[in-house]
Structure 1
C-alpha cells in the first residue's frame, strides 16, 4: 500500500476529530458569571450623652421644676461645655437638685438644652429683678424684731403694712387737755403684699422641691431639742405696685412701720386704698372726751366741788 494515501487518510481523521472537539466546545453553555460586591465594614455607633432639656416652654421669671425639664439623648459632638450633662443616675439627680428652684433669665422654647448662664438662683445677683412680675416694684422698709413679728415673717409670706404715727409735729396743736393722745394713730396703708426678702435673704421665694433624706446622724441631731435665737432683721423688701411704693417711701419718713402677717388661706386681693386710721380714743373709751372740770357749789360760807358725770 502506498504511503501517501495513508498520510492523507490520517490527516483527514485528525481534522475530523479536531473539528468535532471544536464543535463540542462551541456548543457547551458559558459558565455563570460571579459578581463580587464590596460591602463596607459596620461602623461603631456615634457616642451620645444625656442632656437636661426644657420639655415645656418656659417664660422669663418662671421657676425651673420637674414639670418643665427632662433628660434628652443628644450626639456627643453637638453638646457644649456649659450644658448640663448627666452620665450616671447620681450625676443626673445632683444636677436636678442644683437647678430646681432656679429662675429663667430669658424665655426658652421646648427642646432648649439648659445652660447655666440662662439660670439665676436665689441669693445670686439679679434674682429679685428676674422674679419681679411686670408692673411691680421691690421696696425695702426698715423693720425690727417686733415689727417683723419676732422674726416669724419669712420671704414668700404675704403681709399688711401698718403705719404708726407718734410725732408731735405731724398734727397741729390741740387745746384738748388730752390732746397729746391725739398724736398717736395707726393705719394700714398697704394690703396683702408679698415679702421678697428679709435683709438679703430670699429663701422662701423659690418653690420647695423637697429635701434630701437626712443621714442617721442628722436625724439624731434633729431629735435633740435646741433653742433657736430670734432672727433680728433690719429691713424687709416687699413686692408692691408703683403707687404703694410711693406710699411706703413717704410713710417710712413719717413714722414707724409694722408688718402684719396674713394667713396662707386668706385670699383677699391687694387694695390700693388705705384703711381708716385708728386713734387712741378708738382703743379706749376713757379717752373719748376730756374730763370735765369740777363744779363749785356755794352754800353760804361753805364751798363744795362736785365732779359732773362723764359724757358717754
Structure 2
C-alpha cells in the first residue's frame, strides 16, 4: 500500500513539473527596447582668449558640447550652423576667456558704428595726427594707455620765434584705434599710422583740439601698472609763465610756474 502511494506521488510530481515547463514555454518573450541617446547639443564658444576690440576670425570660435537647456542668448549649432562664418569680422565689445559662450550682444558688426560701441558711457573719441616718432616709434597700439604731450613754439618779447615748450596736457588716456585698426595684431607687431583715436572725457576734447591747433601732439606710452590712475587735464592755474629780468643791460627770460591769479 505504501509503495502504491509513493508511486502515485512520484507520478503527480512529474506531471506537475511537465505542466509547468510547458506553461513557461508558452509565455511570450519580453523584448527590451533600446533607449536612443539624444543628440549632443553644442554652443559657440571662444576658442582662445579674446580681448576687447579684437576682430573675430573663424579660428577664434569653436563648437562645444552643452549639457541641459541652452540659454536664449547663446548661439547653438542646431539653430545657426554657419555662425562661425557669419560672425567673421565682428568686433568683441568685451573680453572673452577660452571656452566662454559667445553672446551676440557682446559683438558689433563692422560698418554699424562698431567704434562707438567700444566707448563707455560718457566718453568721447577724438583723433589726433601722429607719426612714428610721436607714438614711441610706432609701438603704441590700440588699448594702450598714454600721456598726451603738447609741444609749441612760444614767441619772444619781440614777437619772433622763441623757445620750444612741451608739457603733458592729459594723462592715462586710452588709445581706441590707430588709423582703422582697433585691436592689436596677433603677433604683437607695431602699427604705424597717421592718426590715433583717443578715448577722452567731454571736458578734455577742447584741450586736445587746442593743442593740435597751436602746435604738435605726441603720445607717451605708459606702463600697464599705471593704467589705473585717473586721467586729468592740466589745470589752467598751473600753466607756466615767463619772468623777464635784466643783467648787465641784457634781458633774460626764465619760465616759472604761475597761478591763474597772476601770482
Q: What TM bracket, shorter-length normalisation?
A: 0.5 to 0.7
Q: Does the CA-based 8 Å contact 1:137-1:241 persist in structure 2? A: yes
Instruction: Check whether the contact 1:50–1:73 (CA below 8 A) recurs between aligned residues.
Output: yes
Structure 1 residues 81 and 241, CA, compared in 2 at 3 Å: closer, same or farther?
Answer: same
Corresponding residue for 1:192? 172
Contact 2:63 2:77 in 1 (8 A): no
Asked if 1:243 is matched to 2:203, the reply is yes
1:160, 1:262 within 8 Å by CA — same for their partners in 2?
Answer: yes
* Other-structure match for 2:135: 148
Structure 2: unaligned runs, 5 residues or longer:
1-15, 47-51, 57-61, 69-75, 95-99, 255-263
C-alpha contact (below 8 Å) 1:136/1:242 kept by paired residues = yes
**Which of 230, 241, 256 pairs up with 2:216?**
256
* Structure 1 spans left out of the alignment, 5+ residues: 1-28, 55-60, 86-94, 106-111, 169-173, 212-227, 282-286, 294-307
For normalisation by structure 2, the TM-score amounts to 0.56
Seen in structure 2, the aligned counterparts of structure 1 residues 124 and 71 have a Cα distance that, compared at 3 Å, is farther
Greater relative CO, 1 or 2 (CA 8 Å, sep 6+): 1
Q: 1:140 is paired with a residue of what secondary structure?
A: strand
Gap change, CA 1:37 and 1:117, over 3 Å in 2: farther
Aligned ranges for residues 256-275 of structure 1 at < 5 Å?
256-266=216-226, 269-274=229-234
Quote the offset at 1:311 in angstroms.
10
Does the 8 A contact of 2:142 with 2:175 survive in 1? yes
- Name the structure 2 match of 1:72: 65
Instruction: Compute the displacement of 1:140 (Å).
Output: 0.7
Mark the CA change 1:203 to 1:271 in structure 2 (over 3 Å): closer, same or farther. Answer: closer
State how many pairs are aligned: 210
Please point out which of 233, 236, 249 is paired with 2:193: 233
Q: CA RMSD in A?
A: 5.0
Q: Which residue of 2 aligns with 1:131?
A: 118
Which residue in 1 is equivalent to 2:150? 163
Q: Which has the higher strand share?
A: 2
Contact 1:187 1:278 in 2 (8 A): no
CA 1:73–1:192 in structure 2 vs 1: closer, same or farther (change >3 Å)?
closer
